[in-house]
């Protein structure tokens, strides 16, 4: 009996390690290809191989999980629009914010010549905006207004990015502080609705893994955001102390603004009646009647989103 139990444990651990290997190799290959693509050349075989390996790992993960009786992540989760939207929102929001932090840290210290401590002081508006907007976003989500919180986050990302599309070595520090505060509002507003969208309508027994996927998506977005920002700013990263660094960041902030547009659109989709119905269907499909409640919109907010998961 003991030997049989040990074999079950070994099989369980081996399966989880194989899944982890697919995820790690896939993300490493993708990030490496994105980072080195501009320097090596997008058409060169090492970059093509990196993208190909990332795609193969993704396909392998889907095939592996879909054939297991007890998958680590049930792929049927992604039939729920709120859950799929939460994953996409997390990737986009953290890609935007991490790319923004990466480039502006270099800009403040290299292009503007600020000391590390002074550059840190310049980014205080981000922290202050996060402190104010995060609890307010939680209140909005708790009141069934997730859509408003997500749209606010998307608009803040758009506006903050557009302010920085004209970045130069002579940009007034006040303008920078304003842009940083706006970005902070965006990040502070998006976290609560991401978690809410991930777990709303899910069976209580699956709420933990749903929340974990949302958290993992945040980290994936952060990694890819830095990789994309560094790749697009390309030559500017290598000569960050030169005058052309600020100009090399413009295309990144235009793309970040596009992230914000997608966040707004996904915010509308993930909080629609169709999204709620898809979450209910997934819960029924998983065969668990007890789900995290998703109350209907209030009369004052006909388009309000699902409320925060019950305690």
> Does 66 share its domain with 137?
no
Which of these three, 51, 72, 93, is where a domain ends?
Answer: 72
Name the E strands within the chain: none
| 2 HSE (CA, 13 A, CB side) | 0
- Between CA 35 and CA 229 the distance in angstroms is 9
Q: Do residues 35 and 227 make contact, with C-beta atoms less than 8 angstroms apart?
A: yes
- Same domain for 254 and 224: yes
Residues 267 and 303 in one domain: yes
The CATH number of residue 251's host domain is 1.20.1250.20
Lowest-confidence region among 136-140, 155-159, 168-172, 175-179: 168-172
Domain that holds residue 57: 1-72
Residues 278 and 203: their CA atoms lie apart, in Å, by 13
Distance, CA of 74 to CA of 90 (rounded, Å) = 19
Paired tokens of 94: 């953290």
Whether residue 311 has pLDDT greater than 60: no
> Regarding predicted confidence, which is higher, 14 or 138?
138
8 and 128 both lie in a single domain: no
Say if CB 275 and CB 82 are below 8 A apart: yes
Q: Are 43 and 239 in contact (CB under 8 A)?
A: no
Residues 27 and 85 reside in one and the same domain: no
Same domain as 90, residue 112: yes
Select from 72, 90, 117 the last residue of a domain. 72
Q: Quick one: pLDDT band at residue 201, thresholds 50, 70, 90?
A: low
Asked if 45 and 107 sit in the same domain, the reply is no
Per residue in 244-298, pLDDT (tens digit) is 788 888 889 999 999 999 999 999 998 888 888 887 887 777 765 454 554 444 4
259 and 304 fall within a common domain: yes
Read off the pLDDT of residues 28-79 as tens digits, 9 standing for 90 and up. 888 888 888 877 888 888 889 999 999 998 898 888 877 777 777 778 888 8
């Amino acid at each position: 009996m003991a030997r049989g139990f040990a074999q079950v444990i070994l099989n369980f651990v081996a399966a989880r390690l194989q899944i982890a290997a697919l995820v790690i190799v896939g993300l490493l290959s993708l990030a490496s290809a994105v980072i080195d693509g501009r320097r090596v050349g997008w058409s060169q075989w090492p970059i093509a191989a990196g993208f190909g390996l990332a795609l193969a790992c993704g396909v392998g993960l889907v095939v592996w999980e879909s054939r297991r009786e007890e998958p680590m992540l049930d792929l049927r989760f992604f039939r729920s629009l709120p859950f799929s939207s939460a994953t996409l929102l997390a990737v986009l929001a953290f890609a935007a914010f991490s790319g923004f932090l990466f480039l502006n840290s270099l800009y403040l210290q290299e292009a503007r010549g600020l000391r590390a401590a002074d550059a840190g002081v310049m980014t205080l508006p981000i922290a202050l905006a996060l402190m104010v907007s995060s609890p307010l976003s939680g209140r909005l989500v708790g009141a069934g207004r997730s859509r408003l919180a997500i749209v606010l986050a998307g608009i803040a990302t758009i506006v903050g990015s557009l302010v920085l599309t004209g970045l130069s070595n002579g940009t007034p520090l006040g303008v920078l502080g304003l842009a940083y505060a706006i970005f902070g509002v965006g990040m502070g507003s998006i976290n609560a609705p991401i978690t809410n969208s991930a777990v709303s309508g899910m069976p209580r027994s699956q709420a933990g893994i749903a929340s974990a996927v949302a958290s993992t998506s945040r980290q994936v977005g952060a990694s890819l955001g830095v990789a994309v920002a560094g790749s697009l700013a390309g030559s500017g990263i290598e000569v960050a102390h030169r005058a052309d660094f600020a100009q090399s960041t413009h295309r990144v902030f235009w793309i970040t603004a596009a992230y914000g547009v997608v966040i707004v659109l996904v915010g509308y989709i993930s909080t629609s009646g169709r999204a709620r119905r898809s979450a209910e269907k997934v819960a029924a499909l998983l065969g668990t009647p007890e789900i995290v409640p998703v109350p209907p919109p209030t009369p004052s907010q006909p388009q309000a989103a699902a409320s925060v998961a019950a305690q």
